[in-house]
Chains A and B, each alone.
Chain A
Amino acid sequence: MRVPVSWLRSLVPGLTAPAEEIAGALVRLGLEVEQVHRVGHDISGVVVGEVLDVEELTGYKKPVRFCHVSVAPAGAPSRIHEVVCGATNFAPGDRVAFATPGAVLPGDFRIATRQTYGRTSDGMICSGAELGASEESGGILVLAPDAPLGADVVELLALRDEVLDIAVTPDRGYQLSVRGVARETATAFGLPLADPALAEAPAPDAGGHPVVLAAADCDRFVARVVHGFDPTATSPAWLQRRLLLAGMRPVSLAVDVTNAVMLELGQPLHAYDRAALSGAIVVREAEPGERLRTLDGQERTLAGGELLITDDSGPIGLAGVMGGGPTEITATTTEILLEAAHFSPTSIARTARRHRLPSEASRRYERGVDPALPSAAAEAAVRLLVELGGATAGAVTDLGTSAAAPVLALPLDAAGRLAGRDYAPDVVRRRLEDVGCAVTGTDPLQVVPPSWRPDLTGTAELIEEVLRLEGYDTIPVVLPRAPAGRGLTPQQRLRRTASRALAATGLVEVVLPPFVTPEVLDVLGGGMQAPRLLNPLSAQEALLRPTLLPGLLGAAVRNVSRGLPDVAIFETGHVFIGAGTSVPAPGVSGPPTPEQRAELDAALPRQPRHVGVVLAGRRASWQAAISAVADLGLALGLVVEPRAVAHGPFHPGRSAELLLGGRRVGVAGELHPRVIAALGLPARSCAAEANLDLLVETAAAAGPPPAPLVSHFPPANVDIAVVVDEVVPAADVEAALRDGAGPLLEAIALFDVYTGPQVGPGRRSLAYALRLRAPDRTLTDADVLAARDAAVAEAGRRTGAALRS
């Protein structure tokens, strides 16, 4: 909402504070004043000119006009400028804002004589935007025909002003009017408000235009007939200026009047050419498939349910959103029907959204328009049409009534109890009256909110008004005391441990968006069911990641392309698996039942936390990929073991599934050359992914580990080399040796792998160092030999291993 400060001052007599001070006061009351525009302070040399003739220059891609403009006042010597202009919304005889050579426009834009399109352009015809008076140009600014030639346009339009640009929150529709902002301003400065909505309207009479309300979403409809309007009458400069400063373009007197009243009071109005109406106006819901051409020239097909203004010819307007083309005010309209109505916010919001048609009217209706306004607003508009357009006021139609405002009971101390400080009873009462409430009673107060505050529906909202008008800065600062806590849960602690452990092994954490393409999932092997977005930001990345790898692999490619060839990155985060289902949403008048709660949770796809790792360049090795997860397991007190298995995106001979107590917890290894080629990764890139939730839950469930037996007796170290078939995994041999050696075995480690002529083709030698120790004695040679032989025997039994000779 753009509020010209001069307009604001007209509704708050006595307001002398400078614009910046007004803005500061409004900010403290919770109005978001985003900017204070200073308008017209940096303009010079723009005068009223008359277009003498127009020559259309042809042969250019866009319309170009060559004109002569006279800026000489009557009786003065002729001063005619030739000028090239790109706008087309003017005709010979129009008075325009003309920037003479040497003129300065906002932004220190200096106008000079120049050659363009093969002509001399000796100045510029200005648009409202070029004068800093409106946001969009929409062509040049055509002035009133009586604007004196040669007069300073800034003076004439009183363009020097300040404009408060206020972002209005959805609950505060009343601030979409100068009246609403003036009320806050009056409160802030302790001044009286000259409420412009007090105009007394004549009572409805039998001769009014017939109107039928046939939809519950319209509870009030005022229609005013205006006769004998002079269609040649134009808006006076003050009216044009107010519209321009407020960000609207002057169109014609009748339309400008409806817009000005809307800006001042917040009540959208619509003016129909009454001669184009046929029969009674009926407000009803649209049938599916009905059609309407709106003011913007769009032919719209209705979905059904939209609130419509209709007459015998069918739909003539999308109620509260946009009028229809065939009944709009034209250059020959003399009979006008003015509409001032009240519509349900949700109905208007739905229609505006469905037809992607946010309008000045719909913005206001969505946020709630004062239901008591229609009559006063229509009266204000009629008076202006009479005064400025030579019209006479005709018959009045006034249907419907708005629901009576609720009476809210507010305990006197309620505001203080929520704020944590006391407010005197008269302060509470006065602040509620400041916002327009009628307050009676003592304790609790009986409060009737004003018609323009549909957001005041309960005590919390009333309390907010007291707190904000008294100032949030008067609320004390007290730290609340929580009961003694138990800190993080074991799972939360373990997740931190996991993140630190990954970083400690040289991996760099990244955080990546979860949006992936179906194509990348196909490259990774397919078969994954991922939830799909209904409105993805990019049509390609429409799926939610069922695996962390696509994001990590993309990040690896990005690092390499940025000249960082050695990549070692990890991410922990949710993945999304499966599809969601539809369940009915419970109401909000209480908590959901346990059954409803379970149903809601069951409707969600599974979202486990995963950990993913990608290694490329010199950091890449299949061993490092497997140990990334195995080491993470160790940090959590878990043993994660690899087992060879061919898996989707991985090299079939260089990847493993990772087992936790026999249960698959992840995969790791070198990526398949096909994946590497498809994604543009460096050769031999490696990756790992594991279910972090499963790791963490297993670790949390393990409970406190038992203490080790720390024997002080000396160890006996034995090396064992066995020869096995090449295909036998070393892990199996080690497990057999471990089991065979029995309880004396303290540690075992593989220290050599040999293939070659000494062991023969298809065989390999594995050499292990075993450390044996007893808890209660020094081991004898016999003990050691027995353990060694038992280990070798078990390895031989399980894997065919033979002691290397």
Chain B
Amino acid sequence: MSGPDEPAVPNASESPAGLAVADLAAAQEQGLAGFEAATTLDALAAARTGHLGDRSPLARARKAIGSLPGPQKADAGKRVNAVAGALQAVYDRRRGELERERDERVLVEEAVDVTVVPSRPLGGRHPLTTLSERVVDVFVAMGWELAEGPELEHEWFNFDALNFLPDHPARQMQDTLFVEPEGSGLLLRTHTSPVQVRSMLDRRPPIHVVCPGRVYRADALDATHSPVFAQVEGLCIDEGITMAHLRGTLDHLASALFDEGSGEGLTTRIRPNYFPFTEPSAEIDLQCFACRGASAVEGAEPCRVCSSEGWIEWGGCGMVNPAVLVAGGIDPERYSGFAFGMGLDRALMFRHGITDIRDFYEGDQRFTLALGREA
């Protein structure tokens, strides 16, 4: 192979420097070889300077054209341009190839371990918040209102208006957290029912309200008791409200909250019980959402959610005691109503298999992050 600086080729005697046919052919051949031999873009750029640059044989040949007699100029020019065109085409092609190679190499070199992903610290909402919102949404979807009230209450709202007689055991110090001044009747509400009383005083029937909130009892903290817990209650007052309406509402809530996916619905059952503020009163059992009652049959697979009872104790309910309607300013001759309430902590405990109620109230970030991702 010959470089650009090699001595002139044949025909030099006929034509001035480099314009001889052989010279141009050599320039073309050497240029082509130079471009093809370049394996990097830098080498290609150097080859371009050597073969197509200002001091290349081709450039010298182009300058020599001026010294030719007129008639030969055109022919020489054509020949030089042909060589230049050929060289340029190869150069362009080769540059394209090398750029593609480079680009591909870069992509390979830039490959990363996609499994190394730093995570942005996540936030989350407490499961009591999200469950409370779910319950409220079920009722709001039926046209009910969300009602709220203070946590530090007067006993008139928490007890008197709810037909707790003055010496009712539930009023006693061992159950209720009372607030100074002594004898003022101020207390931390023991249930969300005072919100029902406030709702009756603030609204005219028909009344459909759902009241979630924190409530308090003088229970020492252990795995199954907490002095603070969360409840949700509902109150419906209108003309002609019956216990059948209560059952319908409970079944609807059970299905909306716990029937995840099947679409078959869940039922509840009610058992007679006593509460001062309702008459008749009942306990609510929820059909086990895990085994749907199948585990209660002898010989069936045991169910951990309901301890193979088939039912889960869920809350209390009843028809609003006429005395409560009277204290709430509602005519019991004309209106009737039902009320129900259940613990949100308890619902979460059996839904998720939480075994220690303290987990709700210790502020451990792991608890919220594990359970608080549900909308």
CB 8 Å contact bits of A561-598 with B (1 = contact, 0 = none): 01010111101011010011111011011111000010
The CA of A458 and the CA of B323, in the complex, are separated in Å by 10
Q: How far is the CB of A454 from chain B (nearest CB, A)?
A: 12
Please indicate which of the listed interface residues A482, A485, A500, A576 has the most CB atoms of chain B within 10 Å of its own CB.
Answer: A482
Q: Please, which residues of chain B bring their CB within 8 A of the CB of A169?
A: 273-274
Question: In the assembled complex, how far is the CB of residue A109 from the closest CB belonging to chain B, in whole angstroms?
Answer: 26
Q: Are A170 and B169 in contact (CB under 8 A)?
A: yes
Q: Can you offer 6 A-B residue contacts whose CB atoms are under 8 A? A: A28-B271, A480-B249, A555-B363, A582-B181, A589-B326, A604-B150
Docked complex Cα distance between A172 and B273 (Å): 10
A580–B179 contact, CB under 8 A?
yes
Query: Does A484 count as interface, using CB distance less than 8 angstroms?
Result: yes
B173 touching A492, Cβ below 8 Å: no
Stretch at the interface among B6-14, B50-58, B77-85, B116-124: B116-124
Binary flags per residue of B141-172, CB closer than 8 Å to A gives 1, else 0: 01111101011111111001101011111001
Known contacts A500-B125, A503-B124: does B167 contact A604 (CB below 8 Å)?
no
Q: Is A662 an interface residue (CB 8 A)?
A: no
| Assembled-state Cα–Cα distance A345/B128 (Å) | 40
What total count of A-B pairs have CB within 8 Å? 293
Known: A460-B319, A514-B151. 12 other contacts (CB 8 A): A418-B319, A464-B279, A482-B208, A485-B208, A487-B140, A503-B124, A506-B120, A507-B123, A580-B152, A604-B186, A607-B150, A607-B151
Q: Which residue of A lies closest to B241 (CB)?
A: A480
Residues A18-32 near B (CB distance < 8 A): 27-30, 32
Q: Is B66 an interface residue (CB 8 A)?
A: no
Query: How far, in whole Å, are A533 and B236 apart by their CA atoms in the complex?
Result: 34
Among A28, A558, A573, A585, contact of B154 (Cβ-Cβ < 8 Å) = A585
Measured in the bound complex, the distance between the Cα atoms of B142 and A487 in whole Å is 9
**Is the Cβ of A531 less than 8 Å from the Cβ of B328?**
no
In the bound assembly, the distance between CA atoms of A177 and B25 in angstroms comes to 127
A30 to B278, CA, bound (A): 14
Cβ contacts under 8 Å, A458 to chain B: 279, 322
A576-B157 Cα distance, complex, nearest whole Å: 18
B252 in the interface, Cβ–Cβ < 8 Å? Answer: yes
Which residues 165-187 of A have a CB within 8 angstroms of B?
169-172
* Chain A residues within an 8 Å CB radius of B274: 169-172
- B67 near A: Cβ within 8 Å? no
Residues on B with C-beta less than 8 A from A417 are 240, 242, 336
B144 to A482, Cβ gap below 8 A? Answer: yes
In the assembled complex, the Cα of A573 lies from the Cα of B186 at a distance in Å of: 19
The proximity string for B residues 107-145 relative to A, scoring 1 for CB distances below 8 Å and 0 otherwise, is 000000000000011111110110001001000101111
On whether the beta carbons of B206 and A483 are closer than 8 Å, the reply is yes
Q: A366-B169, A552-B363, A559-B363 are in contact. Are A533 and B178 (CB under 8 A)?
A: yes
The answer to the question of A276 belonging to the interface, with a C-beta cut-off of 8 Å to chain B, is no
- Among A256-264, A393-401, A467-475, A705-713, the stretch in contact with B: A467-475
The answer to whether B220 has its CB under 8 Å from any CB of chain A is: yes
- From B156, B168, B219, give the contact of A170 (CB < 8 A): B168
> Which residues of A have CB within 8 Å of B369?
508
Instruction: Give Cα distance in the complex from A146 to B157, angstroms.
Output: 62
Q: Give which listed residue, A463, A569, A573, A591, contacts B280 with CB less than 8 A.
A: A463
Minimum CB–CB distance from A71 to chain B (whole Å) comes to 42
Contact of B248 among A479, A496, A531, A535 (CB under 8 A): A479
Whether B372 pairs with A503 at a CB distance below 8 angstroms is: yes
Whether, in the assembled complex, A673 has its beta carbon less than 8 Å from a beta carbon of chain B, the answer is: no
Asked if B251 lies at the interface with its beta carbon under 8 angstroms from chain A, I say yes
| Chain B positions 169-226 with a Cβ under 8 Å from a chain A Cβ | 169, 172-173, 177-186, 188, 200-201, 206, 208, 214, 218-221, 226
Task: Decide: B329 and A591 in contact? CB cutoff 8 A.
Answer: yes
A505-B123, A552-B363 as given contacts; A535 in contact with B167, CB under 8 Å: no
Nearest 4 CB-CB pairings of A with B: A30-B272, A555-B363, A420-B244, A420-B242
> Is there an interface contact between B363 and A558, defined as CB atoms closer than 8 Å?
yes
Q: Are B120 and A592 in contact (CB under 8 A)?
A: no
Tell me the residues in window 330-369 of chain B with beta carbons closer than 8 Å to chain A beta carbons: 336, 360-366, 368-369
B interface list, Cβ under 8 A from A: 120-126, 128-129, 133, 136, 140, 142-146, 148, 150-157, 160-161, 163, 165-169, 172-173, 177-186, 188, 200-201, 206, 208, 214, 218-221, 226-228, 230, 236, 238, 240-245, 247-249, 251-252, 267, 269-274, 279-282, 319, 321-323, 326-329, 336, 360-366, 368-369, 372
Residues of chain B with a CB closer than 8 A to A591's CB: 200-201, 327-329
Q: Which of B142, B186, B188, B241 has the most chain A CB atoms inside 10 A of its CB? A: B186
A219: min CB distance to chain B, Å: 17
Given A509-B129, A567-B365, A569-B365, A479 contacting B273 (CB threshold 8 A): no
B228, closest chain A residue (CB): A513
CA distance A473 to B282 in the complex (A): 11
Contacting residue for A533 out of B146, B177, B241, B272, CB 8 A: B177
Nearest chain A residue, comparing its CB with the CB of B360 = A511
- B220 & A537 in contact (Cβ 8 Å cutoff): yes
Contacting residues, chain B, for A202 (C-beta < 8 A):
none
Residues in B whose Cβ lies below 8 Å from that of A579: 180-181
Q: Is the CB of B272 within 8 A of A468?
A: yes
- The chain B residue sitting closest to A541, CB to CB, is B227
User: Is A77 close to B, CB under 8 A?
Assistant: no
Whether A607 lies near B152 (C-beta < 8 A) is yes
Partner of B326, one of A505, A532, A590: A590
What residue of chain B has the Cβ atom nearest to residue A535's Cβ? B173
Q: Are the CB atoms of B181 and A482 closer together than 8 Å?
A: no
- Does chain B have a CB within 8 A of A780? no
Query: Which of A83-91, A346-354, A653-661 sits within the interface?
Result: A346-354
Is A520 in contact with chain B by the CB < 8 A criterion?
no
Q: B125, B242, B366: which contacts A564 (Cβ < 8 A)? A: B366
CA of A250 to CA of B153, assembled, Å: 47
Which residue of chain B has the shortest Cβ distance to A511 in the bound complex? B126
B10 nearest CB across to chain A (Å) = 66
User: Interface digits, A391-425 against B, CB 8 Å rule (1 contact, 0 not)?
Assistant: 00000000000000000000000000111110000
